[in-house]
Amino acid sequence: MIGSRVRACALLLLAACASPSASNTTAVVPAGATTAARAAAPSRPTPPTRDPRTAGYVQATELPDGAVPSAEADGNFIIGATHDTAPEMRVRSDVPRGAVHIFTMSSTDSKLYPGIARDSGTFGRPDPSDPASLIVTTSRPHPYTRRVGVYIPAQYVAGTEAPFIVGADGIDQLLFTALDNLIAQKRVPPMIAISIGNGSGDAQGSERGLEYDTMSGRYAEFVETEVLPLVEKQYGVRLTKNPDARATMGCSSGAAAALSMAWYHPDLYHRVLSYSGTYVNQQWPHSAETPGGAWEYHTKLIPASPVKPIRIWMQVGDRDLYNPNVMRDDMHDWVVANERMAQVLADKGYHYQFVFARNAAHCDRATKLQTLPEALEWLWHGYSSTQ
């Protein structure tokens, strides 16, 4: 389910293929795409709008238009259709502003991600014997560079260990602005934010897809061994080792990566913030252990595993993604995937908050501008620097 506002998280779109019943079309490309790529991007059918009261969806509290849930409340909530920008998302002259530093990493320096790319204009085809497995023959080694943004709050005390949050898909000025205001209001702890660009491309066969959609702890290990040491060395900060003082966040496949960082490494991360999470079957190469990719989170992994010390905030839009590529495996519905995530998290007794946003597309910017302050405050609820 795609709408007119789509962020860099949504190229899954190189092949024609959304809901066959939709008649309107829209071109969807990642925010960082070149002009030529934007001009060549195919149009896709506009997805249907989902009703959060659909049978089988979780029971949720519908809030007054324009309201967001309490930062102290767990459970399921419906917001919209108006998404006014939260005051904490505006730069204020009377609030101390953190310093933002940017550096570049190269694939030639990475032991874990030497780099791949899929040929331009290609995608892949479902395995004739298994529609849940995509055959990609046009992916090959390819170098990349990625930009990393490091936000250090004005309140950081040199030499002390700091809580931090790791974000996907590049420099996130919205996050930095929210932190300036929330830290000043003492609604979240003074924390460092590390926004890591992906290694380029999207979906199966790409570097971004490999990093974010692979069901393993590899991306968390990349961050731990190749990114965080650079941040500490280059900017003279100390990052905490306490997993309860470490958070992850992202949208789309970046959100799936955020959960995987905590799921496979609860020794490193306990807090996850997810917009339009790709809890669907985007993993490539195919894995016999998790054949449904991130769809396995709500069908098998969470239900069958002991409760992990993970706190997760999730959002999905009523016009979120639906069947965005050639696979027809019944595991490519973003709304259903997030609804099922909410259900299994509730069944297992996790601390979670799930927000279903009316009038919202995939990784919807207006929804983020409305909800991010409350989401961050909820995410860090219960944290104490003395624990």
The tens digit of pLDDT for each residue in 330-347 reads: 999 999 999 999 999 999
What whole-number percentage of the chain has pLDDT above 70? 88
Q: CA–CA separation, 206 vs 212, rounded Å? A: 10
Q: pLDDT value at position 27?
A: 37
Q: Is the pLDDT of residue 272 over 90?
A: yes
Residue reference for tokens 């249907």: 48
How far from chain centre, in Å, is Cα 121?
A: 25
**Is-contact 362 1, C-beta < 8 A?**
yes
Q: Which residue has the higher pLDDT, 175 or 18?
A: 175
- For the chain, what is the mean pLDDT? 90
pTM of the shown model: 0.89
Q: What is the DSSP-derived secondary structure letter of residue 9?
A: T
Q: CA–CA separation, 208 vs 201, rounded Å? A: 6
Residue 328's CB is within 10 A of a number of other CB atoms, namely: 12
The tens digit of pLDDT for each residue in 193-207 reads: 999 999 999 999 999
The tens digit of pLDDT for each residue in 312-336 reads: 999 999 999 998 778 889 999 999 9
Q: CA–CA separation, 337 vs 294, rounded Å? A: 9
Residues with Cβ within 8 Å of residue 348, at least 6 apart in sequence? 302, 303, 307
Class of domain 25-379: alpha beta
Q: Which residue has the higher pLDDT, 5 or 137?
A: 137
Mapped onto helix, strand or coil, the DSSP state of residue 223 is: helix
What whole-number percentage of the chain has pLDDT above 90? 84
Tell me the domain boundaries of the chain.
25-379
Q: Is the pLDDT of residue 3 over 80?
A: no
With cut-offs at 50, 70 and 90, classify the pLDDT of residue 69: very high
Q: CA–CA separation, 247 vs 244, rounded Å? A: 8
Peptide bond into 262 cis (omega under 30): no
Phi and psi, residue 300, nearest 5°: -135, -50
Q: CA–CA separation, 331 vs 293, rounded Å? A: 9
Please choose, from the candidates 262, 284, 289, the residue with its C-alpha nearest in 3D space to the C-alpha of residue 345. 262
Q: CA–CA separation, 211 vs 113, rounded Å? A: 8
The mean per-residue pLDDT over the stretch 221-250 comes to 98
